[in-house]
Amino acid sequence: MEGYAQIFHHRLKKERDWEKWLPHIEMAMALISGILIGCGWLLDKAGMEKLSVIAFLSAFAIGGFFKAKEGIENTIKDKDLNVEMLMVFAAIGSAIIGYWMEGALLIFIFAVSGALESYTMSKSKKELNALMSVVPEEATLLENGVERVVPVRLLRVGNVILVKPGERIPADGVVKTGFTSVDESPITGESIPVSKKEGDGVFAGTVNGAGAITVEITKPASETLFQRIIELIQNAQEEKSPAQAFIERFEGIYVKGVLAVVAVMMFLPHYLFGWSWTETFYRSMILLVVASPCALVASITPATLAAISNGARKGILFKGGVHLEILGNIKTVAFDKTGTLTKGKPELTDIIVDKDWPEEKVLEIAASVESRSTHPLARSIVRFAKDKGILSFLPVNELEDISGYGVQAKINNETWRLGKWELMENKNGEWLKKAETFRSEGKSIVFMENGEKIVALFALKDVVRNEAKKAIRDLHRMGIHTVMITGDNEETARSIADEIGIRQVAAKCLPHEKVNVVKKLLETSAPAAMVGDGINDGPALASANVGIAMGEGTDVALETADIVLMKNDLTKIADAIRLSKRMNRIVKENIFFSIAVIVLLIASNFLQAISLPLGVIGHEGSTILVILNGLRLLRG
């Protein structure tokens, strides 16, 4: 099994190496055909006609190999004619009437445009290959205390692996033994390493710090977070935008139409306009060349692939060209609150301590009690205490979790309570007034008392993401309306919305109610996008014209969404919209330009005002120009 995996990996590597060099090989063969054309022209001028024909034929074979192969294979597979076959027919027709150099020139320019298109596709896969290289190919498997290096693809759920200091973690799992810090920037974009202890989750592709850990595998290699990201990019490259799909459907019909018109033109002008048979056939060959929709076909695909690649490089993963195309027309963006606009984890923002108690002592006692609790507010208090330098806790006895209210415990035989106002036995109106002030700001309150009185008040809040205000401001500047949809109460929701700058709020929304809000937005201000991260956001993400998920979101959100913000950076939404608008503008420019060139060349041919060489240069030159125009999307 292991030997087979190694063989498979070797074959996969060879296939990737071939794909890497393919654009260079195509361009090299195109350039060689260009050199042969030059040699043929020189030989023809020198009166060596037979040698010149051999040079031109060599240019045909070398320059046209890839495109002819592609055309024949697609014709057999689709049982339909395509642009590549049209070019082959045009080149053969040119040779039949003795225009060897023009036919070879047609092949040469067509080969150059094909090499440029391959280059675009290669660049669009660059981010994918970079992601693939992040995840190690081998892991150290622990079995019965024995270490064994195995390919990552052979790991199974439940296996235990050893990750040494400085190594990349090869698979998703949970820490079984050991303590370390992990650089999760490849996934979250956060540069600060995250502490990991027994029971904490780790992800494939992240970098282990100074501690050795053992990790129990929780997901097979095919289902890791990185694999999901790779599949998103692959699917995006394969899925076609509406415009692209229309052009491809139109291509087959158009090619047949051109061939039919060319067949008619081989005879009709001779009888209708009195053209000679030579002129009639010559003009029909020019029509075959100039009427081919190469530039039109190349107007969309290279631009879409370049835009998807650009987005992937910035941490914006598009699941297909259709979503990228729609995004540029978005008028409204709706946001979930918790985990999207906010960090999804409460943080201790304020602490008020009784004048008779030192703050450090209060924090030490509070953290000692709350360290035994799994409640998010308790974890936040412990985290705040650690940040203040309190790293060791007091021994706690008789801990009691009073469900829905808080906790009670003894430290040095003194009873301490932390929780809601209702849990407190020594209530004091002054403390309640202070609490109400914080509650009006959307904060949660934890009171702390001993057997005598309330000694402290902790105010906690799910804080807004640092980039949220800028993200909303950028969208407003673009004329896009923003809405916040949340299951939280009206007061908290309004407090967060005011802080960020969102004017419309829909609070206390269950998942189906979020869907109803999105549907109303679609009726009044479509197209609309929805941004979320949780399972409860899934239906709303699916209902919107474009669903956008946070990279740290749940599997449901990631699978339902059309776009993923890999680094959880909300400012990337405006970047994605700008990228979409830019792509749509370039595609329109390409389509208009390519159609205008085709019409101009066809009209010139009927007026007998254009020669075959000029037809070749005009037609194939326009194809190269639209591809280069699309390649501009790789920048910026």
DSSP alpha helix (H) spans, 125-224: 126-134, 185-188
Q: What residues have CB less than 8 Å from 73, skipping those under 6 apart?
A: none
Cβ proximity of 316 and 576 under 8 Å: yes
Q: Which of 67, 251, 580, 537 lies closest to 572 in space, CA to CA?
A: 580
200 catalytic residue (yes or no):
no
Q: Is 334 helix (H, G, I), strand (E, B) or coil?
A: strand
CB 466 within 8 A of CB 450: no
Kindly state the tokens that stand for 95: 């040779």
The residues facing 163 across adjacent strands are 213
Q: How many CB atoms lie within 10 A of CB 457?
A: 20
Angle at 293 between CA 291 and CA 295, to 5 degrees: 120
* H or E element that contains 272: helix 268-272
> What is the full DSSP assignment across 512-556?
HHHHHHHHHHHHHH-SEEEEE-SGGGHHHHHHSSEEEEETTS-HH
Q: Which amino acid is at 611?
A: S
CA 463, 380, 203 angle in degrees (round to 5)? Answer: 85
For residue 534, what are its two tokens? 């949780």
Structure tokens at 153: 């693809």
Instruction: Decide if 487 contacts 494 (C-beta within 8 A).
Output: no
> Which stretch of DSSP H or E encloses residue 409?
strand 406-411
Q: Do residues 363 and 457 make contact, with C-beta atoms less than 8 angstroms apart? A: no
Q: Which of 336, 488, 533, 562 is catalytic?
A: 336
Burial class (CB in 10 A: 0-12, 13-18, 19+), 67: buried
- Kindly write down the DSSP assignment for every residue of 18-74, as one continuous string: HHHHHHHHHHHHHHHHHHHHHHHHHHHHTT-HHHHHHHHHHHHHHHHHHHHHHHHHH
Q: Cα–Cα distance between 563 and 529 in angstroms, integer?
A: 10
Contact present, 505 and 482 (Cβ < 8 Å): no
Would you state the structure tokens that stand for residue 415, as one six-digit string?
Answer: 């009873």
Token readout for 373 is 């609790």
| H helices, E strands: number in the chain | 23, 22
Please name the residue ranges forming H helices in 277-375.
Answer: 277-290, 294-297, 301-313, 321-327, 359-370
Q: What distance in Å separates the CA atoms of residue 197 and residue 209, rounded to the nearest whole number?
A: 12
Output the CA angle 84-89-91, nearest 5 degrees.
95
Give whole-number Cα distances, 202 to 168, 198, 219, in Å: 11, 11, 11
Which tokens sit at 585? 């503008």
In this structure, the number of other CB atoms found within 10 A of the CB of residue 439 comes to: 15
Question: What residues act catalytically?
Answer: 336
